[in-house]
Every structure is written in structure tokens, then in C-alpha cells.
Amino acid sequence: MNRTVYSIEGKELRNIELDEAVFGLPINEDVIWYAINNELANKRLGTACTKDRGEVHGSNARPYKQKGTGRARRGDKKSPVIVGGGVVFGPKPRDFSYAMPKKAKRLAMKSILSLKAQSDMLKVVEDFSIENGKTKELANILKSLGDNERTVIILKDDDEMIKRAGRNIPRLTFLSYNRLRAHDLFYGRQVIVLESAVKNLSDFYGENPEKSVEVSEGAQGGAE
């Protein structure tokens, strides 16, 4: 699969060959769905907590006597049927996170990359850096590349200056080639991949990588 490499001014420079094993696979919608839900579940705090009948502060005495009032029999004020009483089967603090098989996670990432490449939503750009970390410079680059929607930039490494420059740009997300997130990648309307990151993605997710690699904790759904 051939793709054009663009300059930071938006001009066509040359062509690059994308690995079919990473960017040319059939789209597996099921595994993409599982990967996105796995990431969302792992982000849940699970701190919701309600008080049951035994935890609500109040007296155990009846609000009025059992007989002679003409009213229904009533227990204490902590009853769940009374306003301010306990909650029946309410949420308690819990851990929603769970592990997804590494092979399934890798397949999900390759499926999303293939989806973006086949939908012409993936653009390869020459390597660049923002030495002074100025937002204005990165904003001009994105403008020349057609930045008008939610954008994801896949970096070849953790370039702190580029991330610093894009900190104040809305709808912009940075991902490292070995720490992709299915949710951000799938919902990105424009995916910009640095030229060096293309080879890194092929080595990391390809069928015959140059060396054995393990999916890092970030690639398993953790937030950066």
C-alpha cells in the first residue's frame, strides 16, 4: 500500500510503502469494540458509594406507635421507603478494570490503523520537531495539513517539546507508536503519522518483527 509523504507545508514529497500486515488488514469491528470498552472500563474510578439501611445515621425507634393511629405500620426512619432512608442494592466502591488478551489488543490496533488507511484518514508527514515548544508553530503546521477536525499525531518517541506545543490546541491528541489507545485512535478524524513512526509501527505490530516486543502497559489501555 503506497502513501504520499507530505512536508510540514502540506506539499507532496515522495511515496512510502505501508506494511500490509499493519495497514492493509480486513477490519475486525468486534475486536475494536472490545478494545475501546476495555480502555473505558479501565479508566472508571469505581468510587460511587451509597449507604444502606444499616449505615444511615438516625434512630432505630418507630416514628409513631404501632396501633391506634389509623396509619400503616412503620419501622424506623432509616427504611428504604422513607425519604432520607437507606438505598437498596445501591453501588459500592469496586474495580471495573480487567485485562484484555495481548493478541486481541494488537489486532484491534492494527484493525484501526487499517481502517484509517483504507478510509483515507491517515496522512504520513515528514519528521519534524518543535524546538522551542511554541504552540503557534505547531498550529501553523496543522493548518497547512488541513487541521479542521479531531486530530491524532502518532510520534516515533516521546517528544516532550511537541507535546508541550500541542497542549493548548483543542481536539489534538498525541500517541507514541508503542502506546496507542484504541479510543483516541478510532475517534480521530485525521491521523497524522510521522515518517519514522511508520517503520516503528511496522516493526512493533508486524507479523515478523525484527525483535520480540511486549505490549507495554500504555498499549493495554492505560492513560498517559
Whether 66 is in a domain gets the answer: no
CATH code assigned at 195:
3.40.1370.10
8 A C-beta contact, residue 221 and residue 100: yes
Q: Which of 116-120, 169-173, 207-211 is least confident?
A: 207-211
Domain that holds residue 176: 2-28+100-220
φ, ψ for residue 184 (rounded to 5)? -65, -40
Whether 183 is in a domain gets the answer: yes
Whether 68 is in a domain gets the answer: no
Whether 211 is in a domain gets the answer: yes
Whether 59 is in a domain gets the answer: no
Whether 34 is in a domain gets the answer: no
The tally of domains found in the chain comes to 1
pLDDT in tens, 5-61: 988 888 888 889 898 899 999 999 999 999 999 999 999 999 999 999 999 998 888
Confidence of residue 176 (pLDDT cuts 50, 70, 90): very high
Whether 194 is in a domain gets the answer: yes
8 A C-beta contact, residue 109 and residue 182: yes
Whether 44 is in a domain gets the answer: no
Burial of 20 (0-12, 13-18, 19+ CB in 10 A): middle
Calculated CA dihedral for residues 154, 139, 10, 19, nearest 10 degrees: 0
